[in-house]
Structure 1
């Protein structure tokens, strides 16, 4: 019996904050086949890291079936948490960092882990504010979204 191959969804995410903390916005661009979906949102009092994380969570939650998801992010924190195994270490230590201090934004890390569960997630670090057209698009969308919360 052949195993059905999961669809691949390409995702670009970004977060923006005017002040840290301050009004913030997030954006995600989801692409599969020739289709594209943009989603945005924000909060009136938040941080840049929280908006980066919210973008990933909302992108994953917008996918309505288990997929191979290639998440492109310019957030070293998010990408490294998964690619370098930080998240596993935090879980083993009861959401404590190596310095024994609590992991910031535990609520969003837990929400992200839940949103990831149905999917095979691949993390791809992109350089922010460079020549990556799709990353620049989500950056502009996140900044635009943050202005709605000022």
Structure 2
């Protein structure tokens, strides 16, 4: 009998960015999702009237991962060190401490905890690798996400 091999997961690239005019203020998020095999792309964006830049960075990542219909290998490209550090180093400790962060000798609630918990659910479904992209450095997909996020935030400006 020939050995069985598990089907390999689809590989996708997820580019994300968030924007905020004031912090807090009107904000937008955006993602570009690309299937590495077919090159097919999907863009998404949205915003909120009163939000923070960190919330928009998280929402961009969440919405991009939510757009995936099945588990995938995801290379996440973002200019947000907040998202990157949260995924790679902070989240494990927050979870061990009941979604609390250390502030000096005290434990405080994690900021944006509902977004982090949703992101945690999504990254457990997928194999996610974070790659930091320098913002506003001419990276085409990062620039596209920035344009989409800023345009989404403009809808909420008075």
- Fold match (TM-score > 0.5): yes
Where in structure 1 are there 5+ consecutive unaligned residues? none
1:15 aligns with 2:18: yes
Tell me, yes or no, if structure 1 residue 110 matches structure 2 residue 120. Answer: no
CA distance in 1, matches of 2:123, 2:9: 14
Which residues of structure 2 form unaligned runs of 5+? none
Q: Which residue of 1 aligns with 2:81?
A: 76
* In structure 1, distance between residues paired with 2:98 and 2:41: 38
Aligned to 2:148: 141
**Deviation string for 1:2-60 (max 9, x for gaps)?**
11100101010000011111110000000012201110001011000000000000000
Q: TM-score, normalised by structure 2?
A: 0.91
Partner of 2:108: 101
2:67 corresponds to 1:62: yes
The yes-or-no answer on 1:38 pairing with 2:4 is: no
Deviation at 1:103, TM superposition (A): 1.2
After superposing on structure 2, the runs of 4+ consecutive aligned residues of structure 1 that deviate more than 4 Å are none
Aligned-residue RMSD, C-alpha: 0.9
Q: How many residues align?
A: 149
